[in-house]
Structure 1
Amino acid sequence: MIHYIHLNRDIGGGALMHLDAKKFFFAFFFFIATLILLGYYHFDHEKKFINHNINANLQRAVESAQAVVGDNYHSKVLTSTPTTVEDADTIKTLTALAHAQGVEYIYSLVMDNKGQLRFTSSSARNHELRTGQNLTRFFDIYPNNPDMIKALKTNQMVWDLKEESDQWGQFRSVYLPGTTPSGYRYIIGADIEVGSIQRLSNAAAFKAISTSLIIFLGALPFLLVYRNTMHGTANFLRSQVLNATDELREVNEILETKVEEKTKQLISQTFEDTLTGLPNRHRLQYDMDRTRYSALVILNMYNFREINDFFGFSAGDDLLRQMGHWLITLDLYPYRLSGDEFAVLFDEELSESQLEDLCLKLLNRLHDYPFRVGTESISLNVTIGIDQGPDISLAHADIALHQAKESSQHIAFYNSESHVEEQYQANIALTSTIHNALSSGRIICFYQPIVSNQSGRIEKYETLVRMIDESAHIIPPLDFLQTAKKTRLYPQITRTVIEQACNTFKNRNEEFSVNLSIRDILDQGTVRFIEEMIVATDTAHRIVFEILESEGIDNFDAVIEFVQIMKSLGAKIAIDDYGTGYSSLENILRLDVDYIKIDGSLIRNINSDPKYAVVVQHIADFSAHLGIKTIAEFVSSEDIYQHVKAIGITYSQGYYTGKPSILTI
């Protein structure tokens, strides 16, 4: 027990303090030990309190993220790759949610068919959003994580408390697995930075030490006063600590309430389209998850991009608001999905013919309704995709919409027998194959010789891209380029081809040509890369850029600008597949082309059909008068070769004159 100071009173009533030295020092050191224990208890309590709140924030973050990137989000993105705009919207939404929940990152991942973890969505730090650098995009690779794989295998929430470092930093994490109705597995994760945890722990330790020191310094003088006074002081200090603990608990409860209110506010904002005020895609999925509907209809405004280009984006935004209001006047409950797409749910059981009649009536009323752009009145048209049945989904309605567009129909119903999902899965697998081929240097160039019809010698080569798959099979461009053009991988392929071709011919004497699409020409980053590469390899005066004659008609000014830039550096221009499109002589003259490549569909029939021979002769004659050299494609036999020479075509290209092959540098 504590031995207090004993006081005696003298006869005159004056209080003189008599203190036993041994008892005093025993009481003093016992008091110090008590303060240390009290400080440790306070620190340990604060540390547990901090860890509890951190873990609660992590768990609340992944559970809240279910409303944004849960089952149905993954059903959508795993069957239809999101656009750049949709990916950016998801990044912004998750970033806002991460800020509200007090975590560093919220993200979701899937495992592809090769066992590789890939991002399907992720929040970002503020500087990443500002600069656009190091943003995690859809289907980016993430190094395999044992805890994530454990979550997928056990279907249980897994805590990663090792706080190990990765390329983004050092974090404490939690992983929540999920499964979509169609069977896809995914993980939602959340991270809190270890530095933040350490700062809170340091603050708790400092607070505990400071509290103990203050108590010690404040209590020290009272060791020299009466026992009753010391006893009262101890009680007072104890009550102060308890009061401070109660105040901290009250502050924490207030903060938790504010976080919950902020989360509810954020989820409300997540469910509303800011432009039209209508419920958005997330709200649509939320409603479909909780209520049974018989049909989902998606309406896509026809040629809305042209309206934006002609009248301006503000007018386009106003039309979107008018469209939403018009749907409401029809006693429908519309949602705005993204861009120029709206959706409507039906809970009434309707047959396919009844639903089609209803949509046709809607189309007729839409066509007659006078939408306003300034003082002008315009009519709008839409394309409609419908999913009907007990298990409707946004992905199925979106598939039907794309089928309607591809078949130039106004309305299309989802048909499970069309096997579109299988095609989507094949596209995802092919995209992964292309990505791996780019990463491992298996996008290579073959070169087909172009022979002078006058000398019979090889004077040029055309660059032809090939992909080598993991089984060492050579994949032709028709089997992978169209898929690549729908992803962010296509510019990488173009730059790989340019780099390989320039390095191959920088020490050779022949001219070489490279095919460019209008997408390449409109990509400023690709154009800058081409400029830098042909200058660095000193091949600008020997490279020829082949442009499809019909592909750039809608962007003719951009094509002319590109041609002028390349010609100023010494490059040449060829019109490819001439005779299959709609190029006029005026366009040929404006582009100032150096070569016209006559399409193989004309050349292969030159001996068998006189009409083809006349057309080819005409092309050769006017090209010669204009000083433009001609190249005959698909020269596959001696007869065709002799015929094109007799007509006066400058060069021949085809299997007769040489097959594509790899050239040595």
Structure 2
Amino acid sequence: MQLDAKKFFLAFFFFLATLIVLGYLYFDREQKQINQTINNSLERSVEAASLIVGDGYHEKVLASPPSEIEDADTIKTLTALAHAEGVEYIYTLVLDPQGKLRFTSSSARNSELSTGKNLTRFFDVYTPNTEMERALKTNKIVWDMKERADQWGKFRSVFVPHTTPSGKRYIVGADIEVGSIQKLSNAAAFKSIAMSLVMFIGALPFLLMYRNRLRQTADLLREEVEYATDELREVNEILETKVEEKTKELISQSFKDVLTGLPNRHRLQYDMDRTPYSALIILNMHNFREINDFFGIKMGDDLLRQMGHWLETLGLNPYRLSGDEFALLIETKQTDQELETLCMHLIHRLIDHPFNVAEESVSLNVTIGIDAGPNLSLAHADIALHQAKENSRHFAFYNSHNMVEEQYQANIALTSTIHKALNAGRIICYYQPIISMQTGRIEKYETLVRMIDEKANIIPPLDFLKTAQRTRLYPQITKTVIAQACETFKNRSEEFSINLSIRDILDSATVRFIEETIVSTDTAHHIVFEILESEGIENFDAVLSFTQRMKHLGAKIAVDDFGTGYSSLENILKLNVDYIKIDGSLIRNIAHDPKHAIVVESIADFASKLGAQTVAEYVESEEILKHIKTIGITHAQGYYTGKPAPMAY
């Protein structure tokens, strides 16, 4: 009896040790499977992203930054791919000329899309990362298994380098959050422990009842474990197959334009990378924004569908790029003359073809950009399109000798400089005095923006504002100027004016910021908003709504550069302006040109009868100052009366 008990306990401890070993082996197998699955997901993600956002995309955006719509479209596409693959982020980066890592595209979390917080946009700076830089410099795949932390979280990552045909280097990266990996590991450990415990509890009664069959029971349990492992393997293989199918489906969807059903920009680049074509043509519809505004977005979308269908009926196999742009690929080799004939034939047929919008018949026209090779590029065709627009031509061919790409590179560099200046507080305000002609004293100031570059050079607005207006940085500059000026004058008695563009007035977020700032600083009663005469007339309803809101708060309104355009006096009357600023081109020659003097005197008389005051700009000499005083101008501004200068808060 004692011998049987000893054998039983030996068998019992052998069984317990077996359970522990089997549990460990199961856990180790699961852990390796988890790591393999994670690495497979990362690899599939970067492979799919390379197809969707690849060489062609980088050739284009590094020559000409994408619009906000194109950037948002790329974010949404990569976000959908990240969700399908179960990774946290998919992105692409480049090294700028200063050696800084910059995003060229990125997916986003749902919370980032809804709030805008931590949302990564084109050319945002990323913190230095030696592994990313190693991938770019060595042109080799780098696995970052150190699970580093950054502002978005802690991740395991892979970085795959690529080089475009023109030699531009970029990486495609993907991240999986460490928390997700840990959860899977914990689940595997729990499964292993639970499986061992269940087998132990389930086997204990049989051990007590069938001591002499302990070995057979252990074998049976081992077989069950192996069977369960095989089942798990089969389930995992099924899941992997489904993920691959979903990825292929997503890539297929990402190649299709949802609105028109045509192949999209990603598909165009995919096709150009794999098939030799002789020419690429981009068509941009004329005045589509006005059609959208007049008939409504729904009718505008229908017009885009009609346009795409019409191009298909011509057998041209069109692609829709974005907004009101379409593209065509020409397969057979053609001379420039033949391409020119094709484009003119297309334009004439388009003008003659009626499109139906809200039961109205409209005709369309397009401007065309052509890249005839040898290395076709969306960026080159886009450059040709802009050249055609700038020269008011129907079409233009890309010409590598026009130095346009160099200008685009300069624009990118300037955009980076503006971005750095905003972040470093180097967008500042200068203030130019405006004197009263009656007292000779300074009664007002005009706020003028300046940028300080990294070498402490002062950059005037003409050198950077035009570039800023094409980017999302412009509203930030406006808000910076508003905040600084209001802070400067909140404890002063003089009036101060700020120039606003129609873009500022149409931006609801900027208008809301203006309202909140002038109320919080109590400056509404002595702020003046200057609006360009031409912009005010062309967008009168929007300007009228804005001026009414501001005057209700106590602010004043000035019409800037008055006298240079074809003014609608009726609209000027409706705006109920407080100041009319007479353009410097009229003031400069007032003492020597009788015609200019007559125009200025007429404006002064007109303003006086309206109850508005006048400001003569570009008063550069004592002679001009004396002359404007004799004809009734109320205020003077210019280098003779005071130069722009900074002012302490």
TM-score tier by shorter-chain length is over 0.9
Give the deviation of 1:657 after TM superposition: 1.0
| SS in structure 2 of the partner of residue 551 of structure 1 | helix
1:406 to 390, 398, 403: 390
Which residue type is aligned with residue 399 of structure 1?
A: I
Q: Which residue of 1 aligns with 2:324?
A: 340
Which residue type is aligned with residue 214 of structure 2?
A: M
1:456-491 Cα offsets, whole Å, 9 max, x none, are: 111111111111111111110000011111111111
Counterpart CA distance in 1 for 2:529 and 2:297 is: 35
- The alpha-carbon distance between structure 1 residues 130 and 512, as it changes in their structure 2 partners (threshold 3 A), is closer
1:601 to 576, 585, 594: 585
Q: Which residue of 2 aligns with 1:215?
A: 199
1:459 aligns with 2:451: no
Q: Which residue of 1 aligns with 2:271?
A: 287
Choose 452-461 or 346-355, whichever is displaced more. 452-461
Give the deviation of 1:224 after TM superposition: 4.3
2:77 to 77, 87, 93: 93
- The alpha-carbon distance between structure 1 residues 414 and 164, as it changes in their structure 2 partners (threshold 3 A), is same
Choose 75-84 or 295-304, whichever is displaced more. 75-84
1:297 to 281, 286, 302: 281
- The alpha-carbon distance between structure 1 residues 630 and 226, as it changes in their structure 2 partners (threshold 3 A), is closer
Q: Which residue of 2 aligns with 1:3?
A: none
Choose 533-542 or 596-605, whichever is displaced more. 533-542
Which residue type is aligned with residue 541 of structure 1?
A: H
Give the deviation of 1:165 after TM superposition: 2.3
Which residue type is aligned with residue 141 of structure 1?
A: V
1:391-425 Cα offsets, whole Å, 9 max, x none, are: 11111101111111111111111111111111111
- The alpha-carbon distance between structure 1 residues 135 and 226, as it changes in their structure 2 partners (threshold 3 A), is closer
Counterpart CA distance in 1 for 2:508 and 2:292 is: 22
Q: Which residue of 1 aligns with 2:158?
A: 174
Q: Which residue of 1 aligns with 2:539?
A: 555
Counterpart CA distance in 2 for 1:620 and 1:214 is: 97
Give the deviation of 1:374 after TM superposition: 4.3
Counterpart CA distance in 1 for 2:206 and 2:521 is: 87
1:361-399 Cα offsets, whole Å, 9 max, x none, are: 111111111222243322211111100022111111011
Counterpart CA distance in 2 for 1:18 and 1:382 is: 101
1:599-642 Cα offsets, whole Å, 9 max, x none, are: 11011111222111111111112212222111111111111111
1:61 aligns with 2:60: no
Counterpart CA distance in 1 for 2:520 and 2:285 is: 47
1:199 aligns with 2:178: no
Q: Could you state the TM-score of these two structures normalised by the residue count of structure 2?
A: 0.97
Give the deviation of 1:226 after TM superposition: 5.8
Which residue type is aligned with residue 114 of structure 1?
A: Q
Give the deviation of 1:536 after TM superposition: 2.1
1:492 aligns with 2:476: yes
Choose 406-415 or 308-317, whichever is displaced more. 308-317
Give the deviation of 1:225 after TM superposition: 5.4
2:86 to 102, 116, 122: 102
Q: Which runs of 5+ in 2 are unaligned?
A: none
Q: Which residue of 1 aligns with 2:313?
A: 329
Give the deviation of 1:75 after TM superposition: 1.2
Counterpart CA distance in 2 for 1:358 and 1:184 is: 33
Is the contact between residue 41 and residue 87 of structure 2 (CA under 8 Å) also seen in structure 1?
Answer: yes
1:203-261 Cα offsets, whole Å, 9 max, x none, are: 11111112212222233334345676333323222221111111111111111111111
Q: Which runs of 5+ in 1 are unaligned?
A: 1-16
1:481-505 Cα offsets, whole Å, 9 max, x none, are: 1111111111111111111111212
1:631 to 601, 615, 619: 615
1:543 aligns with 2:527: yes
1:256-291 Cα offsets, whole Å, 9 max, x none, are: 111111111111111111121111111100000001
Give the deviation of 1:585 after TM superposition: 1.8
| SS in structure 1 of the partner of residue 524 of structure 2 | coil
Is the contact between residue 540 and residue 571 of structure 1 (CA under 8 Å) also seen in structure 2?
Answer: yes
Q: Which residue of 1 aligns with 2:575?
A: 591
Q: Which residue of 2 aligns with 1:14?
A: none
Is the contact between residue 88 and residue 174 of structure 2 (CA under 8 Å) also seen in structure 1?
Answer: yes
| SS in structure 2 of the partner of residue 541 of structure 1 | helix
Give the deviation of 1:320 after TM superposition: 1.6
Q: Which residue of 2 aligns with 1:72?
A: 56
Which residue type is aligned with residue 255 of structure 1?
A: L
1:439-472 Cα offsets, whole Å, 9 max, x none, are: 1111111111111112211111111111111111
2:631 to 647, 652, 659: 647
Q: Which residue of 2 aligns with 1:151?
A: 135
Choose 533-542 or 96-105, whichever is displaced more. 533-542
Is the contact between residue 537 and residue 571 of structure 2 (CA under 8 Å) also seen in structure 1?
Answer: no
Q: Which residue of 1 aligns with 2:344?
A: 360
Is the contact between residue 65 and residue 94 of structure 1 (CA under 8 Å) also seen in structure 2?
Answer: yes
| SS in structure 2 of the partner of residue 350 of structure 1 | coil
Is the contact between residue 8 and residue 211 of structure 2 (CA under 8 Å) also seen in structure 1?
Answer: no
Choose 435-444 or 210-219, whichever is displaced more. 210-219
When Rg is computed on C-alpha atoms for both structures, the one with the higher figure is 1
Choose 160-169 or 544-553, whichever is displaced more. 160-169
1:84 aligns with 2:64: no
| SS in structure 2 of the partner of residue 408 of structure 1 | coil
Is the contact between residue 68 and residue 472 of structure 2 (CA under 8 Å) also seen in structure 1?
Answer: no
Counterpart CA distance in 2 for 1:643 and 1:227 is: 121
Q: Which residue of 2 aligns with 1:13?
A: none
1:236 aligns with 2:227: no
Which residue type is aligned with residue 662 of structure 1?
A: P
Is the contact between residue 118 and residue 152 of structure 2 (CA under 8 Å) also seen in structure 1?
Answer: no
1:162 aligns with 2:146: yes
Q: Which residue of 2 aligns with 1:263?
A: 247
| SS in structure 2 of the partner of residue 552 of structure 1 | helix
Is the contact between residue 292 and residue 390 of structure 1 (CA under 8 Å) also seen in structure 2?
Answer: no
| SS in structure 2 of the partner of residue 121 of structure 1 | strand
Q: Which residue of 2 aligns with 1:663?
A: 647
Give the deviation of 1:131 after TM superposition: 3.8
Which residue type is aligned with residue 378 of structure 1?
A: V
Q: Could you state the TM-score of these two structures normalised by the residue count of structure 1?
A: 0.95
| SS in structure 2 of the partner of residue 487 of structure 1 | coil
- The alpha-carbon distance between structure 1 residues 506 and 127, as it changes in their structure 2 partners (threshold 3 A), is closer
Give the deviation of 1:557 after TM superposition: 1.2
Give the deviation of 1:546 after TM superposition: 1.0
Counterpart CA distance in 1 for 2:453 and 2:325 is: 38
Give the deviation of 1:135 after TM superposition: 2.0
| SS in structure 1 of the partner of residue 83 of structure 2 | helix
1:474 aligns with 2:428: no
Is the contact between residue 537 and residue 568 of structure 2 (CA under 8 Å) also seen in structure 1?
Answer: no
Q: Which residue of 2 aligns with 1:526?
A: 510
Is the contact between residue 463 and residue 515 of structure 1 (CA under 8 Å) also seen in structure 2?
Answer: yes
Q: Which residue of 2 aligns with 1:7?
A: none
Is the contact between residue 633 and residue 653 of structure 1 (CA under 8 Å) also seen in structure 2?
Answer: yes
Counterpart CA distance in 2 for 1:219 and 1:593 is: 93
2:6 to 22, 30, 34: 22
Counterpart CA distance in 1 for 2:476 and 2:117 is: 17
Is the contact between residue 384 and residue 412 of structure 1 (CA under 8 Å) also seen in structure 2?
Answer: yes
Counterpart CA distance in 2 for 1:226 and 1:533 is: 85
Counterpart CA distance in 2 for 1:533 and 1:80 is: 35
1:317-353 Cα offsets, whole Å, 9 max, x none, are: 2222221221122121111111111111111111111
- The alpha-carbon distance between structure 1 residues 536 and 231, as it changes in their structure 2 partners (threshold 3 A), is closer
| SS in structure 2 of the partner of residue 164 of structure 1 | strand
Moved over 6 A (4+): none
Counterpart CA distance in 2 for 1:226 and 1:640 is: 118
1:442 aligns with 2:422: no
1:310 aligns with 2:330: no
Percent pairwise identity: 73
